[in-house]
Amino acid sequence: MVENVTESKELERLKRIDRMKTEFIANISHELRAPLTAIKAYAETIYNSLGELDLSTLKEFLEVIIDQSNHLENLLNELLDFSRLERKSLQINREKVDLCDLVESAVNAIKEFASSHNVNVLFESNVPCPVEAYIDPTRIRQVLLNLLNNGVKYSKKDAPDKYVKVILDEKDGGVLIIVEDNGIGIPDHAKDRIFEQFYRVDSSLTYEVPGTGLGLAITKEIVELHGGRIWVESEVGKGSRFFVWIPKDRAGEDNRQDN
């Protein structure tokens, strides 16, 4: 009886993974097609109407092409990171970094996108800057941008005073980064699964909210490669708080911890 129950649970798990992969393939096909279609359409318009377009319109069209090209590049980079994650070959290169500067850089990078969704992006530090730690600045910036992007994308559409906030603090000999929002929140049944590959909380949002469903899985891997951990507190309709704890020195290197 125990063997039959175990086999049944394993079969259900495999079926669930297969469904998630099928949704992922459909989603990523849509995600890749959208920027390619835009790039092609605007490039063809420029080619066919080059003599008729004024400089202002030409500049506007080229800006769309550049923006969509950057979006496509980000999608491909995420897929490349996922491939590395699957092969266990995702690596970090540590150096001494001021996290205050790094957070400000990520906040500034996301502001234009946030503004298009009427979301304010804020940063506050509960400890004096600079806050130095041995980290991979490129990868931790990627973590910050993933969490900030999610905070913006899952904001409540018509709510006033929408915000995403980064709070920097210190805890247990390490650095604590909190990314807080007042968005749609995460239901209890999904909190333990949002860091899984391919998982998206609500498949009905797949085409409404852009993304591959890999961002949080990659984020978790990066944090754990630093010897840190990531967890979430959330309430539906009120928002979410993602916590990222990373050791300040190299002591946490190769010391992965489960969420």
Closest CA to 98 of 248, 250, 252: 248
Given a contact cutoff of 8 angstroms between Cβ atoms, the answer to whether 148 and 110 are in contact is yes
Give the count of alpha carbons within 13 A of 32, CB side only: 11
This prediction has a pTM of 0.77
pLDDT at position 253 is 54
User: For the segment 126-155, what is each residue's pLDDT rounded down to a tens digit?
Assistant: 999 999 999 999 999 999 999 999 999 999
Closest CA to 27 of 209, 217, 186: 209
User: For the segment 213-255, what is each residue's pLDDT rounded down to a tens digit?
Assistant: 788 989 999 999 999 999 999 999 999 999 999 998 865 554 4
Q: What is residue 206's DSSP assignment?
A: T
| Residue 256 pLDDT grade (very low, low, confident, very high; cuts 50, 70, 90) | very low
Lowest mean pLDDT segment, chosen from 30-39, 58-67, 194-203, 235-244: 194-203
High-pLDDT (> 90) share of the chain, %: 52
| Residue 26 pLDDT grade (very low, low, confident, very high; cuts 50, 70, 90) | low
Is the pLDDT score of 204 beyond 90? no
Question: Would you call 177 exposed, middle or buried from its count of C-beta atoms within 10 A (0-12, 13-18, 19+)?
Answer: buried
